[in-house]
Amino acid sequence: MEEIIVENDIVKLRPVQMSDIEAIANAANDERIWEHMSVTLLTQEAVENYIENAIKEREKGISYMFAVIEKKTDNIVGCTSFLDISFPHKRLEIGATWYNPTVWRSAINTNCKFLLFQYCFEVLNLNRIQIKTGHENYRSQKAIERIGAVKEGVLRNHMIRKEGTIRHTIMYSVIVEDWEKLKTRFIDGLLK
């Protein structure tokens, strides 16, 4: 996949790179971020491994991780990724998304999703974008529903969390037929 950079007045998304280690470590240094995530990035070594793996997977076409940069501060405030990429089936997943709590409940996530949806539907010409979250991650579920994704169901006993408990996964999607209506909704209100 070619280099992808998308941005607006609020946020810029660009591929993660090894020079982002310190900035990502700073953004990731809050235990609250990792409660529902499958990774924990609280050490320099963990962040280095995280970025190295992301670059390797990007080179193989497995996934594509973006650094999320808040435009007003020019700081990395999180990461998000394209996962489960299937061009033959014209679909992918947006996931592994995390943000520093300083931007929770801000316009950052909404703007990120808008830019990624727009790229997926208007540049890649995909038919489907899926988003998953854990059954106990209510903050994430509300955020996903707020942007207009449709809840499709629950994948029971889908994952084992890092502490060994079972996670059911809530599956959401946005399909190409939804895009024009959602795009208008984003532009008319959610992006502000």
Note the pLDDT tens digit of each residue in 56-80. Answer: 999 999 999 999 999 999 999 999 9
What's the pLDDT tens digit per position in 75-126? 999 999 999 999 999 999 999 999 999 999 899 999 999 999 999 999 999 9
- The pairs formed by 57-61 with CB atoms below 8 angstroms and a separation of 24 or more are 58/1, 58/15, 61/1, 61/85
What's the pLDDT tens digit per position in 26-49? 999 999 999 988 899 999 999 999
Instruction: Give percent above pLDDT 90 in the chain.
Output: 88
Q: How confident is the model at residue 1 (pLDDT cuts 50, 70, 90)?
A: confident
What pLDDT is recorded for position 182?
Answer: 93
What pLDDT is recorded for position 190?
Answer: 62
Q: Which residues pair with 151 in a beta bridge?
A: 172
Q: Three-state SS for 40?
A: coil
What pLDDT is recorded for position 16?
Answer: 98
Contacts of 78 (CB under 8 A, 6+ apart): 27, 68, 97, 98, 99, 100, 103, 108
pLDDT at residue 192 tops 60: no
Q: Which class for 78: exposed (0-12), middle (13-18), buried (19 or more C-beta within 10 A)?
A: buried
Full-model pTM: 0.94
User: What is the average pLDDT score of the chain?
Assistant: 95
pLDDT at residue 191 tops 60: no
What pLDDT is recorded for position 99?
Answer: 97
Q: How confident is the model at residue 2 (pLDDT cuts 50, 70, 90)?
A: confident
